[in-house]
Structure formats: C-alpha cells, structure tokens
Amino acid sequence: MSTNFEILSHATNASGEPYSVIKVPHTDPKTELLLVNDEWSAESLEYFDLVVGDTVFFAYASSYLNYLITNEVEIIPQYGNENGPISKKDQDVRSIFEELYPNREIIGLNPLYLNNDGGGMHCRFQTQPKLK
C-alpha cells in the first residue's frame, strides 16, 4: 500500500492537477472458525471439497473504504473489537470521514453480516443517481 500511495501522490489527473490522497487505516483481520453443516449448498461443498462436519477458517472481506454515500448521510463501517462495539481505529476512521464530509451525518454500522458473502455496504447497495 505504501508503494501505491507514493505512485498516486505524484500522479496527476487529465488536467494536470495532483490528486489528493488520503490515508485510511486498514481494518484489523476479522476471522472465524465455521463448522460446515447441512445448510451449506451442495455446490459450495463440491466446489470447496468439503463435507458436513469439516471446520473452515473464514476470513471476512473487510474494509473501511466500502462505505455508503446517501443524499444526507455517510454510512461507514465500524468493526469494533474485543473491548467493545467501537475500536480506537474505528474512531480514527470516523474522524477522517467527519473531516471529508463536514455537512453530513456520519453513521457507523458493523457490516460483518454483509462481509460474510464477500461484499460490503457499497457493494450491496450500489448507490444510483436519480433518473430525471
């Protein structure tokens, strides 16, 4: 990510203007051990070569940048940790968003139930412009 930051920090847009690159922390890894049960689809079992009773180490696809922009609010991921629903990193990211969107309400939501299938808030709700 440091290399990407360096490249983008020196890049310009089509008009020759530099980009404003903002560093946002990466989430802490979110993992879980799952027991394969009879609710798993036959396709998933076959694809991953699993049988009921197997244990799977599952890593959630998590990111602070998979957030939702609405007309009036920004809904951002807040993952929490073993100490509570909002971690220090969540608070730091919230501060970044409050600075970027000063006239909008920032709402934190734990998106792990969305990340479970590999997506996040923006992936699931893909904001669309209003058609005239």
Annotated catalytic residues are 123
Q: Are strands 73-77 and 68-69 parallel, antiparallel or unpaired?
A: antiparallel
Report whether 28 contacts 10 (CB < 8 A). no
CA distance 102 to 22: 16
CA distance 29 to 23: 18
CA distance 67 to 111: 9
**Beta bridge pairs of residue 59:** 31
Ramachandran bin of 120, using left for φ above 0, alpha for ψ from -120 to 50, beta for the remaining angles: beta
